[in-house]
Amino acid sequence: MTSDGTRSRESFRALPKAEVHVHLEGCFEPATLETWARQAGVPMPRPRERLLSFDGLADFLEFLDWACGLANTRDRVAETAYGFCRRLAADGTRYADVIINPTHWAPWQGRTRELIDALDAGFAAAEEDELPPVGLCISLLRTQTADEAIDLVEDLVVWRHPRVVALSVDGNEAAAGRTGPRFAEAFRRAAAAGLRRTVHAGESSGPEGVRDAVELLSADRIDHGVRAVEDDRVVALLVERGIPLGICPSSNLSLKLYASMDTHPIERLRQAGVRVSVNTDDPSLLGTNLPAEYELASAAFGWSDEIVRDVARTSIDASFANADVKAQLTSALAGWGS
C-alpha cells in the first residue's frame, strides 16, 4: 500500500487472479477492426477514436454485428482469440473462462464447430507463447427457443471439444421475459454430459432470475447476480449452495443499475457470505481492465489485503480451470501483498 492507504494499479496487476465473466465480443480492438474494415472495403460506422462510443443499446448491437461480421476468416478469429490472451497478460490475469455467443457471429452461422476450432487455434498459439490459458463458455441467447438450445447442447456433447468448459446463457432478460423454464431441459442435458453451467441473471432480471438460474438451470456460477441482494431468501440460497457470482462493477455502473459504488451491493453480498469475484464483462467496450475493477471495488469499500486475496481466491476457485492451474494460482496468491 502507499502511505495514504491506497494501492497502486500495479499491485492489482501483480495480484494472481482469474477472470470468469468476460465476453470475447466485448474485447475487439478498434485498431484491428479498422484494419479489417479497410481490407474488406467496408466503411467504419464512425472514426476509430469514437468507434466504441455507443448511442444506446440498438447502436451497440449494430456495432456487434458489424465487428463479428468482419471476423469472417479462421485467421481473424484466431487473431481475436490470441489478442484476448495478450490482454489477459497485460492485466496480470493468469487464467480466464471467456464467453462467446455464436448467434452474434453471422459469418459462422451453421459452422459453430469451425468457429470453436478457429478460436482454439488462437488460444493454443497464445499458450505456446506463454500467454495465459483460457477455457471457452459457449453461450445461448435468451431469445432463442428451447429447441435451438437443445440442438446446441447436443452438438457440444457430441463434439466434446477440449477447449469448451461450459454452457452459458446471456442476453437481455428484461426483453426476453422469464426464460428459466424454457432452457431447463438444455441445461439438464448439459449437466448430465458433464458440462459446467454459467448463467447471466440478477442484472436485467431481479432476484427471481437468480433463483431460476440455481433451481432450474443448476448454475455452477452466476454472471452478475448482484440483484440477488434484493431478496434475503435468494442471498441465503447462494450462501447455502456456495454458488459464486462473477460481478462486474463498471458494467453495472455504466448500465446505471447503481448510481455509484456507494450503493453497489458487492460488499453487502460478500459480507453476507456470498462468494464474489471481480470481472470486466466487456473491457474494450467499457474502457476498463481487471486491475482497474479491483481498484474500484477495493477503494470503495476499503478492502484489506486479506479481503482482496479472498476475492481473488474466489475467482480462481470459481473458474473452470483444471486442477493444476488452480493449484499454481492459489499458491502464487499466498505470496501477494500490496
Comparison of 208 and 281: residue with beta carbon closer to Zn ion: 281
Taking the complex as a whole, the smallest distance from the CB of residue 143 to Zn ion amounts, in Å, to: 16
Nearer to Zn ion, 27 or 214 (CB): 27
If the CB atoms of residues 36 and 84 are measured against Zn ion, the closer one turns out to be: 84
In angstroms, what is the minimal distance from the CB of 202 to Zn ion?
Answer: 11
Minimum CB distance to Zn ion, residue 281 (Å): 5
Q: How far apart are CB 327 and Zn ion at their closest, in Å?
A: 28
Which positions lie near Zn ion, rule CB under 5 A? Answer: 281
Contact partners, residue 21, CB within 8 Å, separation at least 6: 99, 198, 223, 224, 246, 247, 248, 277, 279, 280, 281
Give the nearer residue to Zn ion in terms of CB position, either 120 or 281: 281
For residues 211 and 178, the answer to whether their CB atoms sit within 8 Å is no
Cβ–Cβ < 8 Å for 311, 303: yes
Q: Which residue is nearest to Zn ion (CB)?
A: 281
Closest by CA position to 237, among listed 214, 267, 258: 214
Closest CA to 175 of 143, 197, 145, 153: 143
CB 265, CB 257: distance < 8 Å = no
Pairing of strands 164-170, 196-201: parallel
> Can you tell me the distance from the alpha carbon of 43 to that of 41, in angstroms, rounded to the nearest whole number?
7
Distance CA 197, CA 99 (A): 12
CB nearer to Zn ion: give 120 or 223.
223
The smaller minimum CB distance to Zn ion, of residues 91 and 281, is found at 281
Is the Cα dihedral 52, 53, 56, 62 positive or negative? negative
Minimum Å gap between C-beta 22 and Zn ion is 8
Q: Which residues contact 3 (CB under 8 A, 6 or more apart)?
A: none
The residue among 97 and 281 lying less far from Zn ion, judged by its C-beta, is 281
Shortest Cβ 288–Zn ion spacing (Å): 13
Q: Residue 279 Cβ, how far from Zn ion at the closest point, in Å?
A: 8
> What are the E-state strand segments in 26-159?
93-100, 134-141
Cell of 264: 453497489
